[in-house]
Amino acid sequence: EAAAIGAAACGVIAVASGGLRWKGLLESALGTAQATAMIYLVLLGADMLNVSLALSQLPAELASWVQHSGLSPFLVIVAILLVYIFLGCVMDSLAMILLTIPIFYPMVMGLDFYGMSHDDKSIWFGILALMVVEIGLVHPPVGMNVYIINRLAKDVPLTETFKGVLPFLASDFIRIAALVLFPSLALVLVRTFGAL
């Protein structure tokens, strides 16, 4: 709702100040249609993949294999997080989430992390997955958001932009490690406000 109000206000200001004419409005509408079509194609492809995964029972079989493989739950979650970081270099965040959650979610739910309940584990894994997906979008060598920012600052070399991202990446990895080792950090607000 806030984004819609902000977009509408920007449109009104652009028209009132003379910065948006019919040509610009048509270009904006065309760009919006293209972006929307791309998102719908991603959703359609993800839905087709999810149906095929459900029919093949691959996620359930994979979860059962991981559960009985004797692998440490922390080794599994670290491997999943690393996959997300590498995928973030080459994929959009929405596509990444839609394509991987049906596979990774049953695996994580089948493992024991600190004796957490199913609901707590779902919230914890969802928060971790979203955070790591966003980290992947700024992670060298192909972080898409870094290239977008670098195009806005035309006089800054790409290597300098990546160097500027490194301290933020370090803090992100510390934050992820803290959430993996202390899941209650991700659940404290849910437990506090869920009890009200």
Tokens 């929405």 belong to residue = 94
Longest Cα–Cα distance of the chain, Å, equals 66
Q: Is the pTM of this model over 0.75?
A: no
Does the pLDDT at position 195 exceed 70?
A: no
Return the C-alpha torsion angle 126, 119, 182, 191, nearest 10.
Answer: 110
Under a CB-based contact definition with an 8 Å cutoff, are residues 106 and 60 in contact?
yes
Q: Give domain limits for the chain.
A: 1-56, 58-194
Task: Give the mean pLDDT of 88-93.
Answer: 73
Structure tokens belonging to residue 50: 């999810």
Tokens 């800054």 belong to residue = 156
Higher pLDDT, 192 or 109: 109
Does the pLDDT at position 73 exceed 60?
A: yes
SS3 for 111?
Answer: coil
Task: Give the mean pLDDT of 128-155.
Answer: 78
The C-alpha atoms of residue 152 and residue 145 are separated, in whole angstroms, by 11
Residue 14 CA, distance from chain mean position: 32
What is the pLDDT at residue 5?
Answer: 92
Q: Tell me phi and psi for residue 113, to 5 degrees.
A: -120, 105
Banded pLDDT at 196 (limits 50, 70, 90): low
pLDDT in tens, 176-187: 999 888 888 888
Quote the percentage of the chain above a pLDDT of 70.
96
The least confident of 31-40, 89-98, 161-170 is 89-98
Task: Give the mean pLDDT of 61-77.
Answer: 79
What is the pLDDT at residue 57?
Answer: 75
Report how far apart, in Å, the C-alpha atoms of 7 and of each of 10, 18, 31, 34, 131 are: 5, 16, 15, 18, 26
SS3 for 138?
Answer: coil
Task: Give the mean pLDDT of 74-82.
Answer: 86
Question: H-helix or E-strand containing 146?
Answer: helix 144-152
Task: Give the mean pLDDT of 80-102.
Answer: 79
The C-alpha atoms of residue 30 and residue 11 are separated, in whole angstroms, by 15
Task: Give the mean pLDDT of 34-54.
Answer: 77
Does the pLDDT at position 4 exceed 60?
A: yes
Task: Give the mean pLDDT of 27-45.
Answer: 81
Residue type (1 letter), 146: V
Report how far apart, in Å, the C-alpha atoms of 188 and of each of 104, 121, 185 are: 24, 13, 6
The C-alpha atoms of residue 129 and residue 182 are separated, in whole angstroms, by 15
